Structure 1
Amino acid sequence: MEDIMRSMLPGAPWLLAHKSMLPTNKPVKVALYGKDYVLWKDRNNNVQALPNVCSHMGAMLSAGWCEAQEDGSSKVVCPFHALEFDTEGCTVLPGSGKRTKPLLEPLNLIIQDDFIWSYGEHEPQIEIPDIMDKITANYEFVGATANTSVATSLLSMLLNNHDYNHQNGTHRDLFRIEEVQFEKFTDRGHYSEALFKTPTASPTLSEVIRNPAVLALPKVIEAHLENHFPSLVILHAESPIATMAQCHFFVPEADDRTRTYILLFAKSKSVIFRLMKKTFLNLGKTVVAQDIDILTRLYADCPKKIKLNNEVGMDWVSRNFKNWPSIVEPNLSL
């Protein structure tokens, strides 16, 4: 059990959701470290979280509904017998009129503006990165997309997202990448940056029809990746119509299941971008779908007998994963 828990990096901060991902007064199920929770947002824009199990007969609270209160707060209601649980995990038994003692332990949330972070039930080992504060101060929030639970381990998910060679394989049908021209990798422990260029072939008509956002991509994509181990990868990208920060988040739901999603932020350069917001969100959704497709087609126990150039990002992930939460040399900067 200890090895299984360690594979999910206890003590790391995980962004469970952006508030925009939670409809008002509608319970949503999230998983973290092998446990299910119910999240809900009330009319006051406050977010609460409880274990996703009714203390009576085990029904999923996320399958129920929210009962709004006069002060704007709300309770989550069990779909089986309509027991209402408040933010402290207490309920009132029918006919008694009395509030019970706490029956469910609330999940500790750290709310920073619209960002909902949690360490689960573990002691913090590293601080929440402050990069999202900087991004919201300088970019407009476009939206969330590609919120998907994937049957893969956290390590496999992270290795894939730091594999700079997979662009011209996994994402060939989307970007028609001809090669990866790696330029620089900067290693600062649990933080790193990678810069590389990817010349692309011109999209075909069918590809444009399928995803018009490819027309806004430059002939040579200049990728700047900012990595915050273990929960966040930010793609800083320029297009003729916008400067974008595409934030990829990862949440370990269980030892063999990881959730990922994207929050997109941008500085618009043209009114055209505002008309294409949904198209760019769909572009990110397609990227994640292609990553998921390949992750579900891997033999995880296959011994690795070949090492490609530019695997420094994967080496950075492996080193931090193996030594978590310590930071161990060597420095991998190139």
Structure 2
Amino acid sequence: MLPGAPWLLAHKSMLVVNQPRKISLYGNDYVIWKDINGEIYALPNACPHMGAMLSEGWCEVESNATSTVVCPFHALKFDGLGCTVLPDSRKKTLPQLKPLELIIEGDFIWSYGGYEPKIAIPGVLNEIANTHYFIGHIADRSVETDLLTMLLNMHDYNHQNGTHRDLFRITEVQFHKFIDDGYHSQAFYDMPTVPYSFIEKLRKPDLFLLPETIKAHLENYFPSLVIFYGEMPLGKAAQCHFFVPETENRTRTYILLFGQAKHPVFKVFGKTYLNFGKVVVDQDTDILGKIYPNTLQKIKLNNEVGMDWVRRNFENFPNVVSPNLSKSII
């Protein structure tokens, strides 16, 4: 599960004020919550009294506007440091739970899960947040698959006209370039589609937003982030896919979407673009449930360079080694 890599646990918008939520990382469960000031807290999810899930409890606002998480079993309140006040006592205890170390950058909530950092947090999200407006989040789910299988699927550029044929009607993948820069890479390819008829579009107006050729520019930050840059007549979008290893055999994924509007009407279609992202995750999740994971690969397709990049970095983590996989197809 690559201990020492940074994982984006959430965007602040994904947390409801004073509502506890369970998150998992490296096989451990935590409760995370946000107070009215936007401060974020995370503790181990098991109450140290009798093991009740704190995420099933509630939050209470304190006099200084911070909040505590309350155990649903015996109503013990824990502050962000893991301290509580026992019944018939007015004195706060020493920390009973060790907080999960969080790194907050703007609205982005990162964590190394308690391990020594081996890879720096990519700064690209801060750059995107400074140049784009935030559209929203979608498709937050846990998938019963290991991290490596998930990453191989996301970097398999040949699966677009199979896995994503429904709705997008992709007919082929025209691969152009892959740029390998260690834990950072970029891929460029085009995906012609079978156009929808005018009648089909009238019946479902969202289809007017789909281009006849999808031009893909992917920017990848191993191991946790894939950014799809899309350009439409009305604006640009940066669709950020995240991956978090919850357990050895369960990986969480979700999407944050950012936009740049060339025309004010672009913002009207924000929800539609989010739903397109949800379709992508739905289709990837579906196909991952239809794969025999231990099948020996006897056939290698062209342009599996992204998968080779994942395998190399996974096998050699935390070291970056040759070869350089950069390639161009004319």
**One fold, TM greater than 0.5?**
yes
Aligned match of 2:123: 130
Query: 1:205, CA displacement in angstroms?
Result: 7.3
Query: 1:215, CA displacement in angstroms?
Result: 1.7
TM-score (ref. length: structure 1): 0.95
Aligned match of 1:5: none
- Relative to structure 2, which stretch is displaced further, 263-272 or 61-70? 263-272
Shift >3 Å, 4+ stretches: 204-214
Matches within 5 A, 1:38-117: 38-117=31-110
Instruction: Quickly say closer, same or farther: Cα 1:206–1:128, change in 2 above 3 A.
Output: farther
Query: 1:100, CA displacement in angstroms?
Result: 1.3
**Cα deviations by residue, 1:109-146 (Å, 9 ceiling, x for unpaired):** 00000000000010000100000111011101100111
Query: 1:89, CA displacement in angstroms?
Result: 0.4
Alpha-carbon distance in 1 for matches of 2:272, 2:203 = 10
Query: 1:211, CA displacement in angstroms?
Result: 6.4
Contact persistence 1:54–1:78 (CA under 8 A): yes
- Relative to structure 2, which stretch is displaced further, 90-99 or 254-263? 90-99
Root mean square deviation, CA, Å? 1.3
Instruction: Quickly say closer, same or farther: Cα 1:282–1:207, change in 2 above 3 A.
Output: farther
Contact persistence 1:60–1:78 (CA under 8 A): yes
SS at match of 2:171: coil
Instruction: Quickly say closer, same or farther: Cα 1:302–1:282, change in 2 above 3 A.
Output: same
SS at match of 1:276: helix
SS at match of 1:87: coil
Instruction: Quickly say closer, same or farther: Cα 1:323–1:62, change in 2 above 3 A.
Output: same
SS at match of 2:117: coil
- Relative to structure 2, which stretch is displaced further, 208-217 or 245-254? 208-217
Matches within 5 A, 1:237-248: 237-248=230-241
Query: 1:214, CA displacement in angstroms?
Result: 3.2
Contact persistence 1:218–1:240 (CA under 8 A): no
Contact persistence 1:216–1:240 (CA under 8 A): no
- Relative to structure 2, which stretch is displaced further, 248-257 or 269-278? 269-278
Counterpart pick for 2:264 among 248, 264, 271: 271
Number of residues paired by the alignment?
327
Aligned match of 2:244: 251
Counterpart pick for 1:318 among 306, 311, 316: 311
Alpha-carbon distance in 2 for matches of 1:250, 1:166 = 19
**Cα deviations by residue, 1:213-249 (Å, 9 ceiling, x for unpaired):** 4321221111000000000000011111220100000
Question: Is there any run of 5+ residues in structure 1 with no aligned partner, and where?
Answer: 1-7
Instruction: Quickly say closer, same or farther: Cα 1:198–1:108, change in 2 above 3 A.
Output: same
SS at match of 2:188: strand
Counterpart pick for 1:229 among 200, 222, 238: 222
Query: 1:270, CA displacement in angstroms?
Result: 2.3
Question: Is there any run of 5+ residues in structure 2 with no aligned partner, and where?
Answer: none
Alpha-carbon distance in 2 for matches of 1:120, 1:174 = 38
SS at match of 1:53: coil
**Cα deviations by residue, 1:248-275 (Å, 9 ceiling, x for unpaired):** 0000000000000000000012233222
Aligned match of 1:284: 277
Q: Does 1:181 align with 2:184?
A: no
Instruction: Quickly say closer, same or farther: Cα 1:207–1:294, change in 2 above 3 A.
Output: farther
Q: Percent identity?
A: 61
Aligned match of 1:30: 23
SS at match of 1:62: helix
SS at match of 2:166: helix
**Cα deviations by residue, 1:199-220 (Å, 9 ceiling, x for unpaired):** 1111257975896443212211
